[in-house]
Every structure is written in structure tokens, then in C-alpha cells.
Structure 1
Amino acid sequence: MKITRFNLLVALVFLVGVGLRLYYFLTPDTKISMDEATYGVQAFHILKGERSVFFYNQPYTGTLSAYLAAMLFSIFGVSDVWLKTVPFIFSVLFLLTTYYLAWEVFKNKYICLISLLFISVTSPFWVNWTTRTGTGYPEMMVFGNLILILTLKIVFASLPKRQGLYFFLLGLCAGIGYWIQPAIIYYGLAAMTMIFLWKPTFFLLPTFYLVPLGFFLGAMPALIWNFQNSNLTNRSLFHKPFGVLGSIRDFFLLGLPVIIGVRKPFSETDFFTPLALVTEAIYGLAIGYSMFNRLKDTLSLGLGKLFASLIRLRSLKEYLKPQDILILNMLFVLVVFSLSSPFNQFVIEPRYISALYTSLPILLAAFVCLMWNRVKILGVFLGGIVLANNVYGLYSVPPNKFLDQYKLDPIISYLGERGVKYVYGEFDFSYRLVFETQEDIIATPGDNLFGAHRYPEYIKKVQLAPITQKACVFRLTKGDNCANIFGPQTPETKMVEINGFRVITYEGI
């Protein structure tokens, strides 16, 4: 294949995206959060023979990545680097599948390039989140992109000989996605709506039944587990909705600003308000134009004919365009998020609406290219503003700003010297102690009941351990929480301060 300047430019943008994610992956002192450490412990247990299906005490986040991490542990040894390698690989695959999805939608290499640029140099939230293990979102969204790509091939490619294969792969990706992270529903609903509009009687196609077959195979671990555990995954996900209007408000006022990179997670303050307002306006224009343009095209074909086709269950393919699947994906994120009480939490740290990173960059890129074709300087201005906003956000929130930065090595060394094997600690680092020592030290959170019950066996082990092998470890900023465990300071206890930590051990008499 001839290497062109355009190909080199695509490769350069792709490498920038990979390099940026490597930077957020490798540079912080605190490389893993409490959730990631728990997932690392789970991968370590899998390596020793455990066959868990879901994240500890969270029966809706699957363990596929933990199994992949366990494979890496078996080859290279247990470390946080190999633990985080799995989501990093999927974050790279997300860049590639986004580029390919943009091609399937618009068949325009410049839209593909700009889509890749916007998702490579994106919000600090997403660059950081794509290197976080244990969440399932980077992995799930790769399978989500594949679902949309396969749907477009089924509807628009006119390859009947491959239709059965595409249906099977669509079901397989949906099944694996369901096991990893049920937010795959954002993609599944968009795909099934598109297929219904293409062929309302799709369920009469013999090849369609390869979808449930693929889904069953992909979701098999989750389905078997739920059969044995009273359908706990779905019961955990589907509750009576609450605060729908409030959720819609929060979606736009709290979640979207973080998604498009004008704020950091858990903040209601813009990085730079004038730039934020212009960026929000550009996104609004891009989304508004896409939806208005598709509505205008649909109306031009006649509403009467549209309704007649729906009533008679006739194909609406002439009304469809590939970009409709992006609009459907975006709309289903809003609808499902607003109606599902489990999903509409944490919008200010908007993991639950991260599927927008599939549709927004591509629709924005198409709008920028359209403006470029009309007035070149306008296209450059719009794309430049969005890119400048993303770069400023990344500058404002470097990798070490997402977690408290501290190393546990001095604590681990001290506990080893004292012969301490069991620790009451904080949720923020208890499972890190376990993971980083490969269970030479067993720790359980003394300040967080939910965190402690991530793995109840550790609670029992710490409770039953000889008191001379126990310690209480808390950061100085947390106050004297150790008094709740060992009681007031006595001659039988010894307290030392190490690098901002308070460590209390029992000396005996």
C-alpha cells in the first residue's frame, strides 16, 4: 500500500492519542485507585484458581479484564503496570474503532481524521478514565463501537452472504458487552432501532436468530451466574426511576461539561469560562445541525408515506442514513440515563454517559468539515477552539491530579519489620496494600463498610488475627480513626508517623 501524507497524518494523530494515554497511565506515583486495587486482587485470585464472574460486591461489572490481567500476571508477574495494560489496550482499540466507525458513517477520510483528532486529544476525564481498570467502560465501548459498525454493514452494505455473520458478531459483541458493563444497552438499543427501521419484520429473517445465539455465547458467564443467583444483575440495574427531570437537568448542566472537557470531574467550575461557553456553543451547533438536517430530510420524503410504511411494517431504508445510528446512540444515552436510577448517579463524574464519546466526536467532526467546505477559515476556527479547549483542560488537570499521590513502600517496609500481617486501614489504600504485597499483608477498610464488604474474607482474617500481628494505618489528614479499633493510646500500643501516615501497632506487655 502506498504511504501518503494523509496516512502519515493519521498515524501521527493516532500516536499522539496513544502517547497521551501512556502519559496518564505511567507518570502518577499513585497508579491505581482503591477500585483498581480491588480488581487487581481479584485478578491475583483468578491466577490462583478463583473463577469469579463479577467484580467483588458489584454484580453488574464483569471480570473479563481481570482474566486478561491474570494472563499478563502469569507471564510478566503481578504489578499495577500489567493490571492497567488491559484498559490501555482497549483505549487504543477505541481510537481505531472510532476512526473506522466514522468511515462507515460518512465515507469521508477528512471526517475520519478529525474524529480521530477529537477523540485522541479529548477531555482530561476521558483520557484518565480510559487507563482505569475495573470499570469496564473502555472495554465495553470498544464492543459498542463494533455493534454500531456491524449494524451499519447489515443495513447499508448489501452483502446478503455475510448478513448471518454480521448478525452473529453483533450478538456476540452485545453479549460480551453485557457481561463487562450493562451500559452496552446504549449501543444495543440504537442498533435494534436501526435494524427495525430498516426491516420491521427483521425477526422473520432466519439469519436474525444468530443474534441471540451470539449474545448467549458472549454473555454466558453472566447468564449462568444470574441463573444461579436469582437474576441479581438485572435486579441491581432496574429499579423504579427517581428524579427523571432532575437527571435530565444534571445530564446537561453537570455531566456534559465534563464530557466535552470544559470542567474536571466532581467540579461545577469551568477551566476558563469564555472558552467553555464557546466550546459548548460549538457542540450545540453541531448536534443541533445534525438533528435538524436529518429531520428536514425525513420530512422532505413525506410524513404520510412514513406512517403508512410503519403501519404496514414496510422497510424505511429510504429514510435512513448512516449518521442516524450516532444520533440514536446519543439519544438513548440521555433516555436510559434519565430513567435508570443506577445509571443516573455520579453524573458529575460522568462514567455512566461516557458512551457519548462514540457519537459526539464524529458528529462534531462532520460539522467542522461542513463549515470548512463552506468557509475554510470558519472550519479551522471551530476545530481549533475545540482542540484548544481540550488541550487547556489536559494542561489544567495533569495525571497526578486525579488521585492523592503517595507511595505505600515505606508503610509496607515498616509493617514487614514489625511482623505485621493484618491491617485496619482506609478504603483508599487497604486493597492497595493487599495487591502490592500480593497478600503478604491482609488489609480491610476500617472506615468504609461498603469497601470492607468488597471481600468479606479479609474482614474475618483481620478480626481473627493475633493482636500482635495487627496494625491500624490511617493518613494524618483523616484524624485519629485508629482509636476506634485499638482504643486510646496505652503502654501496650506504639504509634509512629511515616510519610503522612499514622501507624499503630500492639506491643504487648
Structure 2
Amino acid sequence: MIGKSDQTRQLLIWILIGLFFLAVIVKVGLLSIGAFPFNSDEAIVGLMARHILEGNWPVFYYGQAYMGSLDATLVALGFMLFGSEIFVIRTVQILLYLGTILLTVNLSARIFRSHIAGLVSGLLLAVPTVNVTLYTTVSLGGYGEALFIGALLLLLAIQIDETPDNTLHYLLWGFFSGLGIWAFSLTIAYILPTSFIVVRGLIKSRRSRWWVQGALIFLAGIIGALPLIIWACENGVSILFQEFFGSAIAVNAGSDILSTLVKHIQHLFLFGITVTLGFRPPWTTEPIALLLVPLALIFWLLVFIQIFRRLRDESSHRASYWMIAGVMGAVILVFVLTPFGSDPSGRYFLPIYVTLAIFAGDFFAQPAFRINAPFRALILAIIVAFNLWSNLEAAAQYPPGITTQFDAVTRVDHRFDDQLVDFLSKHGETRGYSNYWVSYPLAFQSDEELIYIPRLPYHLDFRYTDRDDRYEPYQVTVEGSDRVAYITTFHPALDGNIRASFRELGVGWDEEKIGDYQIFYNLSRPVRPEEIGAAWFGN
């Protein structure tokens, strides 16, 4: 005969399986209708994974040194099992996210001593905002890993707080902290608040030689971050710190500190809060699912009240509440004080939604103020409906679809990629030049038969950075070719510049338009960008 506790456990397991199924259905459903364009950042992850299988393992994401190759390594394992396909990249992200949901359900239930709290948190992650759906379905190199490792660090911190004499928990926390810093520095938002719990655990521990525990944590962290440490020894620590603190997106270079700080605070309120709560998708400032936004706002205001009440709670779990809230505080602090605050997309706010979902679970299970259960159930149903509606509405607007691209000039319609590959292959134009948003998807989709390095600007003001040209072997391949073509997108001024330059050089050519792609091919001689690129190489 099954006891009541066993029946409850079985019921909880089935509900958890249902949450997993719901999360998968949402993502697979959106993927099946082609809602997610295959953009260049994701293509680079796929190319890295291919190169790993060929025996070339990079320490970091191509062209930068603040995001490790952990994601590409996991994708490489997927490629080894199922082939080098886009769906494999996204399957890896879905599996990582399911792991994040599982850890978050456990975390919420542990902190608030309520299975209901855990399941509600899981429901809000299974049907999340558009921002979370996007960055946990497509890969940008490390966001899925950051959320998963972050949730694991929070759970380990709870374990340490409850059993401060368990050395294994300290070692695991140290290892995954190091691994997280290498995988993606966004995990610092988790390391900072959990480190206070870890230090408190060392103090509470009955072991007199607490410093030995601390040394073991440090050693485990070094092991986790070993690829990063070796790279820093070979290339210098200064480059690493510059990259970690956002040099790649430092668009406000030269601005005074106060004006930059004000701008980042504006971005926080205008872009960060709205995208985190799901009021807008990450690629535009236009609202989404507008009819339900007021009700969603009410829900999240109630959750914020719950948070403030919990932080004033004098219970023994207060430190855990502050730790979860500390993740939000750390994200905001890093966003405001570093160049990452110049990014309006909302991807850096992913940890905030997860922590809000945790407190939302607490609000539903045991509100800190009087509010009846039917009303809580109703408003929970509304917020889930709001999230689902916003995802479906975003998917229906294709182009751009559910895209990672905030700037309209980077939103290439990739539904024409197969036609582009066929055209270039048919005409023997296997080498050439394009912009960042064309080059890498083209290389991946053609199995690297078509190599077009990003030496052309995509900004309408001709701004260009050589950071776009991320993979040296491609440079060697194209520069050694005696036949090249050019591909542009959304840039009439650049097209005119290319035509005028060809005429001035006495070069003949043909043109073709395929979707958003403007192709200059069949050149009478190879022309290098240095011969025609004064308009952008001089910037």
C-alpha cells in the first residue's frame, strides 16, 4: 500500500514532468514554425563546434575573450551524435534550460519550504517572457550555461548554509564558480551573492581549520577556470580584464563617467525593466500583448511587494532571501557600472527574471500579505497567458521573428539562405567579402564551402570594426583566392560605393538580388576591400 507521502511525491514528479513537457512544447512549437532566425552569433557557435570535432579547440568564443567555449564544446558533442545541424545547437540550449528549470524548482521549494512555490516558479520558467524564450532557445555562446551554473551555485549555497561541515559542497561551489567565470562572466551575478553564504558557512562550520576549506574552494575554482587561467598566462591579464568589463561593446568610449552612468540608468529603466517583465521583446521598444500588460504589471508589483516583505523577515531563512535578491542587485550593478549598460537588448537581465520567478512562487504559495487564493490563481493564469500570447505574437511577426537583433539593419531575412547558397555554388563564387551578419551563417549553411569574410560595414554611417573578422583561417582562404565576390545587405550607399569603385578600377561585374542579399559577382579580376574601402577602413 502506498503511503500518503509517497503519493504526494509521485504527484509532484508527474507535475514536474508536465512542466518539462510544457517547456519543450513551447520551444519546439515555435521552432517548428521557423520563429527563430539563424543569425551570425549562433552560426559562430556552430562553426566552433565543427572545428572542435576537427581537433581545433578554442578557449573563447571567436573574436573575444570574455565568453568561453563551453557552449561550443557541448554543441560539438551534439554534432558528434546527431550531425552538424542547426536543430542540434538549439536542442543543447533546450536541455540546458530544462536543467535550469529543475534546479530552480528545487531551489524555490527549498528556500520557501513549499512544493507549491517550486512548481509555480517552474511554471513561470516553462512559459517565460519572450526575452527568456529567445536566449534559452538560440545560442549566443554562453547564456544557457550561465543560467544553469547560476542556479546550481544558488542551490549549493543553500546546501552549504544548511550543512556547513560538508566539504564536498564547498568544492563544488568553487569548481562551478570557476567554470562559470570562464563560460560566461555573467555568472559573477551569482558568485557575488552566494559567496556571502559560503563565507558564513565557513564561519558556522565546526571545523577549526576553516582556512583549509577556503584554500580548497580556491583550488577548485582554479580547476574550473583552468582554460581561462592558461590563456591569461599566455596572452596577458590586461586583455582579459578589458574584455570582461565590456571593451567589445564600449560604444561610449570618450564620454565622461557621469553622462555614461546616467545613460546606463536610463537603459535600465527604459529597456531593462520592460524586457525583463515581458512588456516588450528584446529587439524593439514596441510593446507586445498590450491588452494584458496592465494585469501583468499588477502581478509583478505584487511580487515586488512580496520581495520587500521577505527581505524584512526576521526568520532563519532571511539570508537566503537576500542571496536571491542579491542576484538582481548584482546584475543591475554590473549593468550600470560597466559598458554592458550600453546594450539595450535585455539579454543581460535573464538572471533577474529567474529570481523574480522564484519570489513569484513564494507569493503564490504563502503571500506576505492578505490576498485570497482564487485571486492569486487567477492572476497567475493571466501572467502565464500573457507570456504565451507575447511569444506567439512575436513569432507571428516574421520578419524579424523572435530575433537577437536590436538594430534593424542587422535583421537579414535568412529564409533566402538556401537560394543564396545555390546561386553562389552554381556560379563558382565560393570566396569573397560581406558583412558580419552574412558571413558566418553562409559558412555554416554551406558546410564551409562558401567563405565570405566580414570586411564590409553594415552600419549605414559606414562604421566598421575589424573585430567582425573573427577567424584567421577564413582570412587566409579568401586572401589566397584568385576569384572573389561581394555580398551586401540593406546598404544602398555601400552598393553605390562598390559600383563606383569597380568602374574607377576598370573592373567588370554582374549583379543579382536574392531576398535581402545584393550580390556583386563575376568580377573581371579579384578586387580586395582595401582597394575600395576608404569610406569605412578610414573610420
Q: Does 1:75 align with 2:81?
A: yes
CA distance in 2, matches of 1:457, 1:485: 25
Corresponding residue to 2:170 among 167, 170, 173: 167
Matched-pair contact (CA < 8 Å) for 2:202–2:210: no
Q: Does 1:248 align with 2:256?
A: no
Matched-pair contact (CA < 8 Å) for 2:109–2:118: yes
CA distance in 2, matches of 1:480, 1:340: 34
Q: 1:198 to 1:169 in 2, by over 3 A?
A: closer
CA-CA distance at 1:17 after TM superposition? 0.9
Corresponding residue to 1:152 among 154, 158, 175: 158
Q: Residue 176 of structure 1 aligns to which amino acid in structure 2?
A: L
Aligned to 1:382: 379
**Partner-residue secondary structure (3-state), 1:443:** strand
Aligned to 2:306: 289
**Partner-residue secondary structure (3-state), 2:335:** helix
Aligned to 2:422: 413
CA distance in 1, matches of 2:312, 2:485: 65
Q: Residue 378 of structure 1 aligns to which amino acid in structure 2?
A: F
CA-CA distance at 1:19 after TM superposition? 1.6
CA distance in 1, matches of 2:84, 2:430: 19
Q: 1:207 to 1:500 in 2, by over 3 A?
A: closer
Stretch deviating more after TM superposition (329-338 or 108-117): 329-338
CA-CA distance at 1:498 after TM superposition? 3.0
Q: Does 1:471 align with 2:469?
A: no
Matched-pair contact (CA < 8 Å) for 2:160–2:201: no
1:364-443 aligned at under 5 Å gives the runs 364-371=360-367, 374-398=371-395, 400=398, 401-403=401-403, 404-443=413-452
Q: 1:267 to 1:357 in 2, by over 3 A?
A: same
Aligned to 1:96: 102
Stretch deviating more after TM superposition (353-362 or 243-252): 243-252
Q: Residue 357 of structure 2 aligns to which amino acid in structure 1?
A: P
**Partner-residue secondary structure (3-state), 2:477:** helix
CA distance in 2, matches of 1:375, 1:168: 44
Aligned to 1:454: 470
Give unmatched runs, 5+ long, in structure 2.
1-5, 247-255, 404-412, 458-463, 526-539
Say how many residue pairs are matched.
482
CA-CA distance at 1:230 after TM superposition? 1.0
CA distance in 2, matches of 1:488, 1:508: 10
Provide, for residues 31-58 of structure 1, a one-character-per-residue CA deviation record: whole Å limited to 9, x for no partner. 4211111222222222222121011111
Q: 1:241 to 1:229 in 2, by over 3 A?
A: farther
Matched-pair contact (CA < 8 Å) for 2:71–2:141: no
Q: Give me the TM-score of the superposition, normalised by structure 2.
A: 0.82
Q: 1:410 to 1:273 in 2, by over 3 A?
A: closer
Corresponding residue to 1:494 among 510, 514, 527: 510
Matched-pair contact (CA < 8 Å) for 1:25–1:31: no
Q: Residue 346 of structure 2 aligns to which amino acid in structure 1?
A: P
Q: Residue 259 of structure 1 aligns to which amino acid in structure 2?
A: T
Matched-pair contact (CA < 8 Å) for 2:484–2:523: no
Matched-pair contact (CA < 8 Å) for 1:474–1:503: yes
Q: Residue 34 of structure 1 aligns to which amino acid in structure 2?
A: S
Q: Does 1:259 align with 2:257?
A: no
Matched-pair contact (CA < 8 Å) for 2:281–2:394: yes
Matched-pair contact (CA < 8 Å) for 1:121–1:390: yes
CA distance in 2, matches of 1:474, 1:246: 32
Matched-pair contact (CA < 8 Å) for 1:155–1:195: yes
Q: Residue 395 of structure 2 aligns to which amino acid in structure 1?
A: P
Q: Residue 356 of structure 2 aligns to which amino acid in structure 1?
A: L
**Partner-residue secondary structure (3-state), 2:34:** coil
CA-CA distance at 1:120 after TM superposition? 0.9
Aligned to 2:333: 335
Matched-pair contact (CA < 8 Å) for 1:103–1:112: yes
Provide, for residues 2-23 of structure 1, a one-character-per-residue CA deviation record: whole Å limited to 9, x for no partner. 5744443332222111221223
CA-CA distance at 1:296 after TM superposition? 4.9
Q: Residue 149 of structure 1 aligns to which amino acid in structure 2?
A: L
Q: Does 1:177 align with 2:177?
A: no
Stretch deviating more after TM superposition (205-214 or 120-129): 205-214
* Percent identity for Structure 1 against Structure 2: 22
CA distance in 1, matches of 2:371, 2:451: 64
Corresponding residue to 2:146 among 136, 140, 145: 140
Corresponding residue to 2:216 among 195, 210, 215: 210
CA distance in 2, matches of 1:459, 1:237: 26
Q: Give me the TM-score of the superposition, normalised by structure 1.
A: 0.87
Q: Does 1:235 align with 2:248?
A: no
Aligned to 1:190: 193
Q: 1:269 to 1:5 in 2, by over 3 A?
A: same
CA-CA distance at 1:456 after TM superposition? 4.0
Corresponding residue to 1:127 among 123, 133, 139: 133
CA distance in 2, matches of 1:483, 1:473: 13
Matched-pair contact (CA < 8 Å) for 2:306–2:359: no
Matched-pair contact (CA < 8 Å) for 2:161–2:200: no
CA-CA distance at 1:197 after TM superposition? 4.4
Q: 1:80 to 1:450 in 2, by over 3 A?
A: farther
